[in-house]
Structure formats: C-alpha cells, structure tokens
C-alpha cells in the first residue's frame, strides 16, 4: 500500500493507517513549559460524564465561533458523553498553539478537544474513536 505522508510530517511519528501524526518540536524548547502552564491556568476546565461516570480527566472544547448575518455558527464535535460539553472561543494560549500548528500543517483548524491529566491516575483508557453520525 502506498503511503502519502505530507512533507510536514516527515519527522513526525506516524500512527494508525498512516493518517495520524505526532508532531514534535514545533515550539522551541525554551517556551513549551510556559505555554503549558499558561494554557493550564487560563482554560476553564470541565468535567465530563460517560455512562453516568465521571471520566478521569478534565476537558475543554475550544473553537472558532463565526457570526454571519446575525447567526452564530460553531463547529460540532460529537463527543460520546452523557451531555455534550460546551464549545468556547479560543483562549489566548490555545489560539497561539492553534496558529502555529496551522502554519506547520498548512491547514486551518476550527476546533480542539483539550484534555488535562492532573496526575498519574487520570487517563483516557483503551478506546477507538468513531463517527457518531
């Protein structure tokens, strides 16, 4: 099977069916800790419940909310949760990270699911993502 890995992903770790990438070193080492702590502190973290149980991590869904002719449009991320978490506009640090990723991958992003693992007990667990529609 031929792989079509984009040029920006040549130094990335490749996962899945060669369609998922872990980008490393897109920010200089001297700023990554500052970005992490700013993001952690500025985000209003939410809890999420799935099948009645609290998931063991905090989340924030951020995105680009567009207003056209008085109507508000926002990206929809259908999350397998008891109640869909609220999407909020990008916080300053999340926006900075988003813009840098867009620069690297040469594609616009309209939302992000940001997850915060507070300690060694927080986790995502084994799973596979699926389309809910």
The pLDDT of residue 1 is 43
The pLDDT of residue 27 is 94
DSSP per-residue codes, the chain: ------GGGTTSEEETTTTEEE---SS-HHHHHHHHHHHHHHS--B--EETTEE-SSEEEEEE--EEETTEEE------SSSSPPPEEEPPHHHHHHHHHHHHHHTS---EEEEEE--STT----S-------
Q: Where are the domains of the chain?
A: 28-116
- CATH, domain 28-116, list 2.60.40.290, 3.40.630.30, 2.60.120.590, 3.40.50.2300: 2.60.120.590
The pLDDT of residue 42 is 98
Q: What is the pLDDT along the chain (133 residues), one digit of tens a residue?
A: 446 778 888 878 888 778 788 988 899 999 999 999 999 999 999 988 888 988 899 999 999 988 888 888 888 777 777 787 889 999 999 999 999 999 999 999 999 999 999 998 888 876 656 555 5
The pLDDT of residue 129 is 61
């Amino acid at each position: 099977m031929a792989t079509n890995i984009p040029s920006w992903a040549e130094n990335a770790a490749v996962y899945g069916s060669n369609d998922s990438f872990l980008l490393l070193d897109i920010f200089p080492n001297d700023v990554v800790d500052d970005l992490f702590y700013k993001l952690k502190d500025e985000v209003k973290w939410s809890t999420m419940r799935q099948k009645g149980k609290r998931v063991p991590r905090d989340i924030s869904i951020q995105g680009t909310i567009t207003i056209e002719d008085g109507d508000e449009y926002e990206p929809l991320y259908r999350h397998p949760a008891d109640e869909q978490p609220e999407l909020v506009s990008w916080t300053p640090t999340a926006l900075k990270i988003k813009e840098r990723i867009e620069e690297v991958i040469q594609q616009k992003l309209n939302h992000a699911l940001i997850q915060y693992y507070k300690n060694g007990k927080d986790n995502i667990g084994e799973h596979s993502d699926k389309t809910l529609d």
